[in-house]
Amino acid sequence: MTTETLIRPADETVAKPLLSIAGLQVRYGRTHAVRGIDLDIMPGESVAILGESGSGKSVTGKAVMGLINSPGKVGGSVEFDGMQLVGRSEAALRAVRGPGIAMVFQDSLDALNPVFSIGNQIIEIFTVRLGWSRRQARDEAIRLMLQVGIVNPESRLDDYPHQFSGGMRQRICIAMAIALKPRLLIADEPTTALDVTVQAGILKLISQLQRDSGMALLFVTHDLAVARQVARKLVVMYAGRVVERGPINAVFHRTAHPYTRALLGSNPGSVKHWSELKPIAGNPPDKSAVFTGCAFAPRCPRAVRMCSDREPDFVTVADGRQSRCHFAQEMFDGR
């Protein structure tokens, strides 16, 4: 597979998803980080994966890029533009990384190499991946830095990552991610490490870049309010599985899964007064646990005997709305 076929305009594949995840599993020995995920992303679509820490949401993003290191084991299927990525050689994956799928990480200080200047790190992308001359790459680096909102980019090319603020660093990470014009951008909690005021700017930037370039976006977060600002579709994860999915505003206004509802109830932004906050009782399940029923049952206010005996399948409660709960329809109908 060459880079050319990857960046081919997808006009004949309009109806086909750009990224198709089916039964994705990630295991570290007996620890199950991801226990079977199905997820489609259409070209240009923006999808948020929502979940608490340990739900497997970040691992999913890394697995799509083929960044799960040994001893981690990946199973299932990840198809990008019709090409199976799971089990591919590192050389084949390299062609996809960058122009196919790019990634922005949570901690920008950790994500940038401390011993190379910012300019060096951006320029390297073009000289190495596209074979450009240094001068041409430098011009493009300056243009990119302007695009993501770095003031006076020319004078900052020789600065090192530690000389930038957290927000500016994340902007640089975004610039590096979009440098090769990816068709899918995976953003793994890109604003979690930032101040709220800086957060808004970064979210706006990501939304704007996504709209302008038409790339698809997979946004990983634990914050529903943040997800609503950048994504149209929502996927809620719990214990390594998808529990609910649908258009983000629809899910927000009318949940069809007890976990999603509990998550909303525990979010300070969704209640009028902090005294109304309802933390979710108990803890997320152990990752090496084996479930016979629903993984959320032990913490679920609605759980009955059946819940811990039999795992629920997806129930389609409305057009484009699915929930993995025995009481999905009742939840959706407000009963």
Q: Which residues bind another protein (CB under 8 A)?
A: 65, 67, 69, 90, 93-99, 102-103, 105, 107, 110-117, 125, 128-129, 160, 162-163, 173, 176, 179-180
Q: Shortest gap between Cβ of 177 and another protein (angstroms)?
A: 8
Q: Shortest gap between Cβ of 256 and another protein (angstroms)?
A: 34
The rounded distance, in Å, linking the Cα atoms of 255 and 274 is 21
Which residue lies nearer to another protein by CB, 14 or 115? 115
Q: Shortest gap between Cβ of 67 and another protein (angstroms)?
A: 6
Among 283, 286, 305, which Cα is nearest to 294's?
A: 305
Which residue lies nearer to another protein by CB, 175 or 248? 175
Q: Shortest gap between Cβ of 41 and another protein (angstroms)?
A: 17
The rounded distance, in Å, linking the Cα atoms of 319 and 42 is 17
Q: Say which residue the tokens 């993003």 belong to.
A: 61
Of the CA atoms within 13 Å of residue 31, those in its CB half-sphere come to: 9
Which residue lies nearer to another protein by CB, 157 or 251? 157
Which residue lies nearer to another protein by CB, 113 or 283? 113
Which residue lies nearer to another protein by CB, 67 or 264? 67
Which residue lies nearer to another protein by CB, 177 or 303? 177
List, in order, residues 6 or more apart from 300 with CB less than 8 Å away.
258, 259, 262, 294, 307
The rounded distance, in Å, linking the Cα atoms of 45 and 249 is 15
In degrees rounded to 5, what are phi and psi of residue 144?
-60, -45
Q: Shortest gap between Cβ of 206 and another protein (angstroms)?
A: 16
The rounded distance, in Å, linking the Cα atoms of 314 and 134 is 52
Which residue lies nearer to another protein by CB, 33 or 102? 102
Among 302, 18, 314, 194, which Cα is nearest to 206's?
A: 194
Which residue lies nearer to another protein by CB, 69 or 275? 69
Q: Shortest gap between Cβ of 150 and another protein (angstroms)?
A: 18
Bridge partners of residue 288, in order along the sequence: none
DSSP states of 150-181 as a string?
-SSHHHHTT--GGGS-HHHHHHHHHHHHHTT-
Neighbour-count burial of 159, counting CB atoms closer than 10 A to its CB (0-12 exposed, 13-18 middle, 19+ buried): middle
* Chain-centre distance for alpha carbon 188: 5
